[in-house]
Amino acid sequence: MPAIEDSGVVVLGWWVSMFTTRVRIALAEKGISYEYIEEDIPNKSPLLLKHNPIYKKVPVLIHKGKPICESLIIVQYIHETWKEGYPLLPSDPFLKSQAAFWADYIDKHIYQVVKLTWDSKGEEMQKRVEEFLGYLKVLERELGEKPYFNGESFGFVDMALICYYSHIIGFGKIGNFSVEKDTPKLFAWATQCMKRESVSMTLADPNKIYELLIEIRKKNGLED
């Protein structure tokens, strides 16, 4: 009997991981069927350690027994492997390079600040919020009046950012800011993205993310 990872397309993920969400959105946009295996991150499975021995992180896409790691790389792989159907990246080399730039910006800045909400409060938290809103406003300026970052079509940068949305809402409740109020164009963009089944059916419940963030903060002595 063949091993489970040899059975076509498999995703190793974790419901909390925005990067897992990103990959699942890409697969949904392409209409690709796959087997999803939820990882218990505190107790990583032998399957995960086998297929991502360097970083030991989710997500991992296993295609025909071969692992692909790191979510942006996985999305590019999906785009290049399944050429039929919805394009995830622009065909123009310049536009493709710009999409890669902004996706990298998102993961360098948005992720780091969200992560720091786990261990800051008071003035330090306020500083993080101001820094975070600054990054969001940079993205808002790049979006401009377009419905999506790529223009009229949902694409690579949209997938890179929308996967953070539940975490951003949770961070907003802790840091006392509102995407709708502070970055209204991004809020309108997120609302538009949520109309897509690939997004609405994949994003984690923001209330559950908020509850998890509070639990982590309590463990770190930042909440009563």
- In the structure encoding, which two tokens stand for residue 109, read together? 């800045």
Assess whether pLDDT exceeds 80 at residue 5: no
The full length of the chain comes to 224
Residue 177 — left, alpha, or beta (φ > 0 → left; ψ -120 to 50 → alpha)?
A: beta
Distance CA 222, CA 224 (A): 7
Q: Report CA 114 to chain centroid distance, whole Å.
A: 12
Decide: 124 and 115 in contact? Cβ < 8 Å.
no
E strands in the chain: 9-13, 35-38, 60-63, 66-69
Residue with tokens 């909400």: 117
DSSP state of 39: -
pLDDT given for residue 4 in this prediction: 56
Task: Residue 21: name the closest of 217, 192, 168, 183 by CA.
Answer: 168
Distance CA 106, CA 170 (A): 17
Distance CA 39, CA 37 (A): 6
Angle between helices 71-81 and 18-30 (to 10 degrees): 10
Decide: 27 and 68 in contact? Cβ < 8 Å.
no
Count the helix, strand and coil residues of the chain and give each as a percent rounded to the nearest 5.
Answer: 60, 10, 30
What type of residue sits at position 208?
Answer: K
pLDDT given for residue 6 in this prediction: 58
Distance CA 170, CA 166 (A): 6
What does the mean pLDDT of the chain come to? Answer: 93
Distance CA 176, CA 133 (A): 12
43-54 pLDDT, tens digit each: 999 999 999 999
Assess whether pLDDT exceeds 50 at residue 72: yes
User: pTM of the entire structure?
Assistant: 0.94
168-207 pLDDT, tens digit each: 999 999 889 999 999 999 999 999 999 999 999 999 999 9
Residue 176 — left, alpha, or beta (φ > 0 → left; ψ -120 to 50 → alpha)?
A: left
